[in-house]
Amino acid sequence: MEDKDKKIVSLHLKLMPYLEKYGILLLLVIMILVMHILQPDVFLSWRNVTNVFKQISWQSMLALGVFMVIVTAGIDLSVGSIMMLSLMILAVVAKAGAPWYIVVITPLIAGFLCGLFNGLGITLLRMPHPFIMTLGTLYIFRGTGNLISGGTPISGFTDEVRYLGHGRIDLQWLGLEKSQYLPVSLVLIAIVYIIFWIFLNHSKTGKWIYAIGGNPNAARASGINVNKILVIVYSLCGFLSGIGALILAGRTDSGYPNAGLQSELDAIAACIIGGASFFGGRGTVLGVFAGVMIMGILRNGLNLMDVSSFWQQVLIGSIIVLAVYVDVLRRDLGTRK
């Protein structure tokens, strides 16, 4: 009996590293299979798959930005408001008749500056936790967006402005039908995620970001300028929210006051489901994308099954609690080792 127990423990220890690395991908595959079984004629159709990617396009940008913040053991509650403010600035500039390339650049600059404001506020004002600063800017940025737009939607963008969120890549040259295409937003997601994967895994700054989340005091002792890195992280988080605003502008052809409302919670949820730790110092870009996909597939599948949005909220909330609990157990196990 003791030998059997030892074998089970040994097997568990051998499998743990693989489950930590690839468990989220396994969960994603299982979800896809389950949804396909429940909706065999619809779920894996080309139209529905492209709809899922379009639905998660702007959310994936917010989640990636929040992920970097969470890796530093921080939090950013303002990403939804940054996206809304960037979107309203884009709409105002577009309505003023600015050239399309100015309109496209505007939300990126606005998002970056909002993130810079968060980073400088957290470091220079010595906030006890980023929660406080970003909770304040959640209201500041959304209120500012309503002030500059008068709280009313602004619609009617040029095709160039809408391209990233609305454009299609024709695949007829591959022998596919006209209805079978790739959304430009999916290509953008792939490019951005690859760039940030390289940044976080193969640059000094990326390694310092993980080091700060793992142990900020040790990072300082090793000569890392923690405040500078935090400012960079929050600035990039804001910049990604600006990209999200640009994608959303293309999808909806408008800037509207309720844009991004509570989307910061979805972004945080995707990161936690994807394996990022609230304790900082762990998580992967691939895991974040898997987390975004899981939430997108879950919502899409439940909508296809005509499940009430209220039950969807209950289910997603339960998954978040379970993901955090698993993270706590994983941390306790690591401490005992």
How far is CA 107 from its chain centroid?
Answer: 17
Would residue 313 count as lying in a domain?
A: no
Contact 244, 59 (CB under 8 A): yes
Would residue 292 count as lying in a domain?
A: no
Handedness of CA 334, 335, 336, 337 (dihedral sign): positive
Q: What is the CA radius of gyration of the chain?
A: 21
Structural domain harbouring 68: 57-260
Contact 77, 134 (CB under 8 A): yes
Give me the pLDDT at residue 77, please.
Answer: 95
Model confidence pLDDT, tens digit, residues 183-207: 999 999 999 999 999 999 999 999 9
Local structure of 259: helix, strand or coil? coil
Model confidence pLDDT, tens digit, residues 55-75: 999 999 999 999 999 999 999
Would residue 120 count as lying in a domain?
A: yes
Give me the pLDDT at residue 197, please.
Answer: 96
Q: Examine the pLDDT at 100 and tell me if it is beyond 90.
A: yes
Contact 227, 103 (CB under 8 A): no
Give me the pLDDT at residue 176, please.
Answer: 73
Q: Examine the pLDDT at 11 and tell me if it is beyond 70.
A: no
Would residue 61 count as lying in a domain?
A: yes
Taking the C-alpha atoms of residue 220 and residue 187, their distance in angstroms, rounded to an integer, is 38
Model confidence pLDDT, tens digit, residues 24-48: 888 888 889 999 998 888 999 989 9
Would residue 329 count as lying in a domain?
A: no
Looking at the structure of the chain, the number of domains it has is 1
Taking the C-alpha atoms of residue 191 and residue 183, their distance in angstroms, rounded to an integer, is 13
Tokens for 15, please give them.
Answer: 């499998």
Question: Torsion over CA of 114, 94, 170 and 301, rounded to 10 degrees?
Answer: 50
Would residue 181 count as lying in a domain?
A: yes
Contact 85, 110 (CB under 8 A): yes
Would residue 275 count as lying in a domain?
A: no
Tokens for 331, please give them.
Answer: 């941390």
Tokens for 301, please give them.
Answer: 């599948």
Would residue 298 count as lying in a domain?
A: no
